[in-house]
Amino acid sequence: MTADDVREAANALAERALELPELARARTVAAYVSVGGEPGTLALLDALRARGVHVLLPALLPDNDLDWGAYAGEGSLSRVQHGGKMALFEPSGERLGPDAVTAADVVLLPGLAVDARGMRLGRGGGSYDRVLARLERAGVHPARVVLLYDSEVVERVPEEAHDRPVHAVVTPSGVRRFQEA
């Protein structure tokens, strides 16, 4: 994809996501800053913040769990290199602790793909599996939404016993909801 294609896809993705009723009524959203070839998320983060939504962003801990901090605009991000892993953009302000995600009305999840059942394929580090398990233990049930390109919605992805389906996938061309989540 060209830089223009990536920018257009990010804007379309933000537009589609902002139409979700779950995001329209959300007061707190746990999200992430896209990296590498992931669909861009900054336009969406800024639009949520402009609506008055409290946006939480992850900070990777040494054990691959996630801490959280508030998003206060692109200038509040730091590029953090985690050993041999890719560099991530993380909130530079106060850390709120791993349990801060339990206050989220919506959790926006990264992924490599999602299938027709709503099962998400992650990068394999287990960070978001821990987040989803933390939400389950806390007895909270935020909407779980994956942000992907259209080509990343596939027929089937591998699944393990701890995997949980998402409620919806948002792509630049639209939203697909899943019943079993």
* Residues in the annotated binding site for substrate: 33, 38
d(CA 132, CA 126): 10
Binding positions for ATP: 120-128
Pick from 57, 71, 53: nearest CA to 109: 57
d(CA 67, CA 156): 30
Binding positions: 33, 38, 120-128
CA dihedral (58, 117, 123, 41) in degrees, to 10, reads -40
Q: Dihedrals φ, ψ of 166, to 5°?
A: -95, 165
Pick from 80, 77, 96: nearest CA to 88: 80
